Amino acid sequence: MNAIMQTIELPPKRVVPLLQRPGVQRIFYPALVGTVLISVWQGLVVGLELPAYLVPSPFLMLQTLITDWAMLGMALLSTLKVTLLAFVTATIVGVLISFLFVQSRRIETALFPYAVLLQVTPIVAVAPLVIIWIKNPTAAMTVCASLVALFPIISNTTLGLRSVDPDLQSYFKLNRATRWQQLLRLRVPSALPYFFGGLRISSGLSLIGAVVAEFVAGTGGSGAGLAYQILQAGFQLNIPRMFAALLLISLAGVALFALMAWLSKLALGSWHASETSHD
Amino acid sequence: MTFQNQSMATGLSAAPAVEMLSAEKTYSNGTRALLPVDLSIAEGEFVTLLGPSGCGKSTLLKMVAGLLEPTDGRLLVWRKPVAHIDEAGRKTAFVFQAPTLMPWASVEANVRLPLDLAGIPRNEADDRVADALSLVGLDKFASVLPRALSGGMQMRVSIARGLVTQPDLLLMDEPFGALDEITRHKLDADLLDLWRKKKLTVIFVTHSIHEAIFLSSRVIMMAARPGRVVEQFFIDEPYPRTDDFIVSTQFSRHAKLLQGSLLRASSAQRELQP
């Protein structure tokens, strides 16, 4: 077929210098800040001769991490297991509840207050009950952490599934799209940016939930997590180990967040404004 | 020759594509969006709906598309009620004011959407998408995402999506309203070429007098509060219309008539206000 409108040519590609690439900048600048902060901390501890039972130096913390690695590594695995189980559970259950909510306003109106109730009740208050009800400590802690992580998934995904361009929806109706086609081709893609926003919040909350559940459950032995190690180290005034465990929790949280950011970029990077560079 | 008498017959012998018989629209809150309209649009016509905002132009267009139902009266497209157009074996396409593309899908996938929804096999659909894209001059942008395109190019994608189903009736709701003057004029000229080559029937909503004269064979003037049809004008000038037409005395004459009519339509609305 002959072109009726004039053909438009593609623009040429541009080469960006290494240090100006957003990907390099995103690692370089935070790393610079981190190096400065750790140097200042080390300098202060050494300079002011602070005792290790008050504030250990970053170097001592690292040393403890290495010497106690057998114990701390196992604890990290245990905490991560609960965190990931809770995160996956919260995601699956949250998405299912959101799909239920968008089926009708009446269902959402009827059930939403209970989702809020779930969110506002402190997990520390509920956890002892859950731990009494569920015998298996891992399952009990997973349930507690899931309860904490559930709400952002529900609220974000529901909002996303409802945030459809009304004209685009009209277009689907004009072309006689079925309910199923509208869900798969329109609602689900429209909801993705909101869903990933929910995932980022929930990934952090699952870790917080897991740590809180460990504190409340207080389970020791072979399955002891990082929170238990912190409790024990506190009793023994082993402050460097406390710091080492704390460092591991923080690093686990950062890693989870980075994983979610990476997934989000993978899914939305090319098309959604939240993931495209602003310069 | 310009007719101003609304009851005068269209004078075209072709079969009617759209017939409105006292079709009217009142919203559930009591707002009268459109008073009863009697209107017949023949196959192959390029009709423009012109008028101040709130005059029911979009309402009328959405009724023809089947997005809104008339509260009273009858609306036939190819002599069938809108809900049963499929039986007539013909197709309607709608182009919105905004490009209304799926931001997550490539240009190609966006254009293929109506074919996918209709369950047309992938290889046949791909051929038709390629044809539609080359028709609007975007064959090199098939795999690009909409956000990489300019507003004018996104509008071309939207038009390609409208054409890919090979429609007989093209409904356009202020499609170029948000574009700059030069891009708008270019797309207007391209649209006229498409209309002639594909023998389409087009109903085009605009608030630009010049766009209406340049494009259409007939202009329907509407007034607001309540929305209604007040006058119609035949732009009895030959096609193809070139840039020379825009600076001709005939063009100015049409513009003057339409300007007067638009002013009357706008003042009529002021009188009705408290």
ω into A122 cis (within 30 of 0)? no
- Residue whose entry in the numeric block shows the structure tokens 């904490």: A148
- Residue in B with minimal Cα distance to A178: B117
First to last CA, chain A: 40
Q: Is B100 on the interface with A (CB under 8 A)?
A: yes
Mean pLDDT, to the nearest integer, of A211-225? 79
Contact between A174 and B67 using a beta-carbon 8 Å cutoff = yes
> Residue A1: what pLDDT?
46
Q: Does B78 touch chain A (CB under 8 A)?
A: no
**Which residues 157-216 of B have a C-beta within 8 angstroms of A?**
190, 193-194, 197
How far, in Å, CA of A53 to CA of A56, rounded?
7
**Closest residue by Cα to residue A137 from A249, A244, A215:** A215
Q: Find which of A53-57, A72-76, B269-273 is predicted with most confidence, using mean pLDDT.
A: A72-76
Domain layout of chain A by residue ranges: 56-267
CB contact under 8 A, B135 and A185: no
**Structure tokens, A274:** 């939240």
Residue B176 in tokens: 């170029």
Q: Is the pLDDT at A6 greater than 80, yes or no?
A: no
| Average pLDDT rounded to a whole number, residues B96-125 | 92
Q: Do A185 and B147 touch (CB under 8 A)?
A: no
Percent of chain B with pLDDT over 90: 42
Res B4: pLDDT: 40
How many Å from the N-terminal Cα to the C-terminal Cα in chain B? 38
The confidence score (pLDDT) of residue B240 equals 87
**Mean predicted confidence (pLDDT) in B225-239:** 90
Query: What is the per-residue pLDDT across A118-129, written as a single tens digit (0 to 9) for each?
Result: 888 888 888 888
**What percentage of chain A's residues is helix, strand, coil (to nearest 5)?**
80, 0, 20
Q: How far is CA A63 from the centre of its chain?
A: 29
Residue B13: its pLDDT value, please? 56
DSSP assigned state of B232: E
Please state the rounded mean pLDDT for residues B17-38: 87
- Residue A109: φ, ψ to 5°: -60, -40
- Give me the residues of A, 160-219, that contact B with CB < 8 A: 165, 167-168, 170-177, 181, 185-186, 189, 192
Task: Find out if CATH 1.10.10.10 is the number for domain A56-267.
Answer: no
Residue for token pair 């086609």: A181
Q: Which residue has the higher pLDDT, A175 or A274?
A: A175
Find the range with the poorest average confidence among A1-5, B61-65, B115-119: A1-5
Which pLDDT score, from 0 to 100, does residue A4 have? 63
Task: For residue A2, give the chain B residue with the closest CA.
Answer: B135
Of B100, B136, B193, the CB nearest to A171: B100
Residues in CB range of A235: below 8 A, 6 or more apart:
none
Contact A4 B104 (CB under 8 A): no
Domain boundaries, chain B: 99-167
pLDDT score of B5 more than 70: no
State whether ipTM is beyond 0.90.
no
Name which of A71-80, A206-215, A254-263, A265-274 the model is least confident about: A265-274
Instruction: Determine which of A102-106, A211-215, B8-12, B190-194 has the lowest per-residue pLDDT on average.
Output: B8-12
Share of chain A above pLDDT 90, in %: 49
Give me the pLDDT at residue A161, please: 92
Interchain proximity B94–A174, CB inside 8 Å = yes
Mean pLDDT on A68-77: 91
Chain B positions in Cβ-Cβ contact with residue A183 (cut-off 8 Å): none
Q: Pick the more confident residue, B101 or B1.
A: B101
Residue B233: pLDDT above 90?
yes
